[in-house]
Structure 1
Amino acid sequence: MKIAFFSTKPYDKDFFEKHNQTHELTFYDVALSEISVRLTEGFDGICVFVNDKVNASVIEKLAKLGIKLIALRCAGFNNVDLEAAHKSNIVIVRVPAYSPHAVAEHAVALIMALNRKTHKAYNRVREGNFSLEKLIGFDLYHKTVGVIGTGKIGDAFARIMQGFGCKVVAYDIFPNQSLIDSGVKYTSLDEVLQQSDIISLHCPLTDKTLHLINETSIVQMKTGTMLINTSRGALIDTQAVVEGLKSKKLGYLGLDVYEQESNIFFNDLSEEILVDDTLARLMTFPNVLITSHQGFLTEEALTQIAIITLNNITAFEKGQKSGNEVEL
C-alpha cells in the first residue's frame, strides 16, 4: 500500500524504514490539516500522530481523495472524528500498547526530578555552584500515590511506585484484579484526590475525562500535592492548575503533555517568541517541570510502534482484522 505519513520526525522515518518490507511509505514533516490534506492524493492510506487534525472536514476530503485507511501510530484517538470516518467507510487502526513501561518510567522520572530537584542541581553544578540550598526533597517511601487510570501504563506505573515502598491507591471504572492482588487499593476518584501525596494521570481523553483535573478537584487535594500528567493534555484544565500553583495548593507539577501543545511540542521554537501565555506562565514556576511529549521516546517503544503500525496496514491490505481497529 501507498501510505502518506504526517508529522514525521527523523526517528519516525528511521524506525519505519528499518521495519518496512512491502509498503510504499512517503514521509511529510507537516501536520495533517485542511490545508495539507491535498498531499494525500494518490495514496491508499495515511499514518498520523497525536496532534494531527483528523476532523470531519479533513475526513471528508480524505474520502474524496480515495483514502481507505487511517493508521494511528499512537494509542489515543481523541483527535479523530470516528463517526465521520465510519460514514466515509474509512477504517481506523491504532497502536493500543507499544511499551507501557516507557511512559510509566517517564512519569517516575518527572516525579524524581521534581522531588529531588535534579534539573536545578544539574544547572547549578555546570555554573560552578555547589550549594545545596533549596534542593531539599522528600522520601517517596510510605507516601501515598494516586493512580488515575490503570490500563497497561497505569499498571506499570503503579508497580514501579510499589517498588519504592509507596502506598498506591487507584481509580478506574474497570479495576485491575492483578493490581488488587498486589496490594493496590481501588477507591473513588474523590478519595484518590483527597488521600494522595502524588497523583499521576494515566487515562484516555474522553468526554467524561476532559478537564478531569479542574478547580473543584484541585480543592479536594492535599496542600502541596504533586500532579503528574503523561497521558493527554486536556485531562487538565490548565488555567485551574496555574491558580492551584499560585495558591500553593499544588506543590509540584510535572507535564509531558499540554492541552494546547499542537504546533508547539515536537518543534524547535528556540529562536521564536512563545505566544502561548499560559504555557509561558507555567514555565515561570520553579516547581513545574515540562517535557515535550517524550514519554514514548525509547528504542523499544519506537520499534513496537513501527512494527504494529505496519502489521495493521498489512492486515488491512489483505482484508484481514489486525485486532487494533477503532470502532464507534
Structure 2
Amino acid sequence: MKFIAFNVREDEEKYFAQWEKETGNEVLRLPDMLDMSSVEKIEGFDGVLALQTGTYPDEMFTEFKKFGVKVFSIRNVGVDNINLDAAKKNGVVVTNVPAYSPNAIAEFSVTQLMQLLRNTTIFRNKVAKQDFRWAPYVGKELRSLTVGVVGTGRIGRAAIDIYRGFGAKVIAYDLYPNPELKKQGIYVDSYDELFSQADVITLHMPATPDDYHLIGTENLNKMKDGSYIINTARGALVDTKALITALRSGKLAGAALDTYENESDIFNHDLSNQEIKDETFKELLSLDNVLVTPHVAFYTETAVKNMVLIALNSAKSVCEDGTASTVVK
C-alpha cells in the first residue's frame, strides 16, 4: 500500500520511518498543507494523512474519488472541519486518533492555570525590568478553589484526577455523564450551575454548532467575579472579544488559551518580523493576565508517536478490511 502524508513535521519523521520499516508499506511525507492547490499530489495513493488544522472543502472529496483514494486519516481527534457526508458521498472513509494522550492535554491545562494563579507572567516581566517587588500580585492556592470541568471524556477525566490531587473541589458538566463520576456526585445539572459555582472553568469538549461561543457575554456574566478560563479544547468555544472585555473589566482574573477561534493563519507558522493583522489576537497578546500558546497542549513525545502510528494503522486497516476501530461515524 502507498500512503501520502501532509503537514509532516520533523518530530514525526522517525515514527513514519519506523512504521514503514515494520510494515513494508510506503509513505510519502510532505511538509506541505493539503488544500485544493496541492490535492493533485494524492494521485496514485491509497490513503491520505493530514492534520485537523487544515481546511477541507467538500469539493476536495470529489478529487479523492477521482484519484481512487479510499481513506482520509486525520492525525488528531477533531473532525469538526470535515464534512463527513461529503466524504461518504465520494466513498472516502474518515478516521481520526480518538486518544493520543489525554494526560498530555490535561497536564498542560493544569500547568497553565497554576501560572495564572501565581502571576508568573507578571513576575517574569517585572524581573526582566529589575523590579523585584511582590505586591500587589498575591497568588491563590488551587486547593482553595472550585474547578468546573466542561466535558468528561478521556481528557476531562484525566484533568479531574490531577485537580483532585491538588486538593481542589471539582464539579463537572457533560451532556453524556460518565457513570462512575455520576456515582461520585460530581455533576451539576446545567451550565448555569457550573458557571455560578466554579472559580475556574476548564474546557475539554468538542466544538459543535450548539456550543459555538459558549464562553460569550451572557455566560461570562454568570461567572464568579475574578474567575479563570482555561481552553485547551477548541477555539470556537470562546468569543474572544467578549473574553477580552471580561478580562479588562476584572470580571475574569485570567485566561489561558491554547486554541484560538481564528488560529489557522497564525498557529504553527513563523511570523517573526511580520505584522499580525488580526487586531483581536494582538490585543490578547498584550494582556498580562492571559497565556496564549499555539495549540501545543497535546505536544509530547508520547502523543506525537501515537498520532502518527494510530493514523497509519487506521489507514492500513481501512484499505485491507474496509473499516477500522477509529472510523468517524
TM-score bracket relative to the smaller structure = over 0.9
1:209 aligns with 2:211: yes
Among candidates 124, 136, 153, match of residue 151 of structure 1: 153
Counterpart-to-counterpart distance in 1, 2:136 and 2:328: 48
Counterpart-to-counterpart distance in 1, 2:28 and 2:135: 52
Q: Which amino acid aligns with 2:241?
A: Q
State the shift of 1:123 in Å. Answer: 4.9
Give the stretch that moved more between structures: 310-319 or 86-95: 310-319
1:273 aligns with 2:312: no
Q: Which amino acid aligns with 1:302?
A: V
Counterpart-to-counterpart distance in 1, 2:185 and 2:16: 40
Q: Deviations over 1:58-83 (max 9, x none)?
A: 22222222221100101110111101
Q: 1:14 to 1:35 in 2, by over 3 A?
A: same
State the shift of 1:304 in Å. Answer: 1.5
Among candidates 231, 235, 238, match of residue 237 of structure 2: 235
Counterpart-to-counterpart distance in 2, 1:167 and 1:180: 15
Q: Deviations over 1:161-219 (max 9, x none)?
A: 11111111111011112223455233311111111100000000112222111111111
Whether contact under 8 Å (1:8, 1:28) holds in the other structure is yes
Whether contact under 8 Å (1:31, 1:51) holds in the other structure is no
Aligned to 2:132: 130
Counterpart-to-counterpart distance in 2, 1:164 and 1:187: 25
TM-score by length of 1: 0.94
Among candidates 297, 300, 303, match of residue 299 of structure 2: 297
Among candidates 44, 47, 50, match of residue 49 of structure 2: 47
Q: Which amino acid aligns with 2:277?
A: V
Q: Percent identity?
A: 38
Aligned to 2:76: 74
Give the stretch that moved more between structures: 220-229 or 116-125: 116-125
Counterpart-to-counterpart distance in 1, 2:289 and 2:120: 12
Whether contact under 8 Å (1:175, 1:186) holds in the other structure is no
Aligned to 1:8: 8
Aligned to 2:87: 85
- The alignment covers a number of residue pairs equal to 327
Counterpart-to-counterpart distance in 2, 1:242 and 1:167: 27
Whether contact under 8 Å (2:240, 2:261) holds in the other structure is yes
Equivalent residues in 2 for 1:106-125 (5 A)?
106-125=108-127
SS of residue in 1 equivalent to 2:18 = helix
State the shift of 1:16 in Å. Answer: 2.4
Counterpart-to-counterpart distance in 1, 2:38 and 2:218: 40
Aligned to 1:264: 266
Q: Which amino acid aligns with 2:17?
A: E
Counterpart-to-counterpart distance in 2, 1:205 and 1:11: 27
Q: Which amino acid aligns with 2:146?
A: T
Whether contact under 8 Å (1:148, 1:170) holds in the other structure is yes
SS of residue in 2 equivalent to 1:318 = helix
> Structure 1 unaligned runs (5+)?
none
Give the stretch that moved more between structures: 212-221 or 134-143: 134-143
Alignment root-mean-square deviation, CA: 1.7
State the shift of 1:125 in Å. Answer: 4.3
Give the stretch that moved more between structures: 148-157 or 25-34: 25-34
State the shift of 1:127 in Å. Answer: 5.7
Counterpart-to-counterpart distance in 2, 1:125 and 1:82: 51
TM-score by length of 2: 0.94
SS of residue in 1 equivalent to 2:4 = strand
Give the stretch that moved more between structures: 298-307 or 254-263: 298-307
Aligned to 1:175: 177
Q: 1:34 to 1:113 in 2, by over 3 A?
A: same
> Structure 2 unaligned runs (5+)?
none
State the shift of 1:100 in Å. Answer: 0.2
Q: Which amino acid aligns with 2:133?
A: S
1:28 aligns with 2:30: yes
Counterpart-to-counterpart distance in 1, 2:265 and 2:46: 26
Whether contact under 8 Å (1:169, 1:187) holds in the other structure is no
Counterpart-to-counterpart distance in 2, 1:53 and 1:326: 17
Q: Which amino acid aligns with 2:228?
A: M
Counterpart-to-counterpart distance in 2, 1:272 and 1:30: 21
Give the stretch that moved more between structures: 173-182 or 223-232: 173-182
1:253 aligns with 2:255: yes
Whether contact under 8 Å (2:51, 2:76) holds in the other structure is yes
Counterpart-to-counterpart distance in 2, 1:307 and 1:186: 38
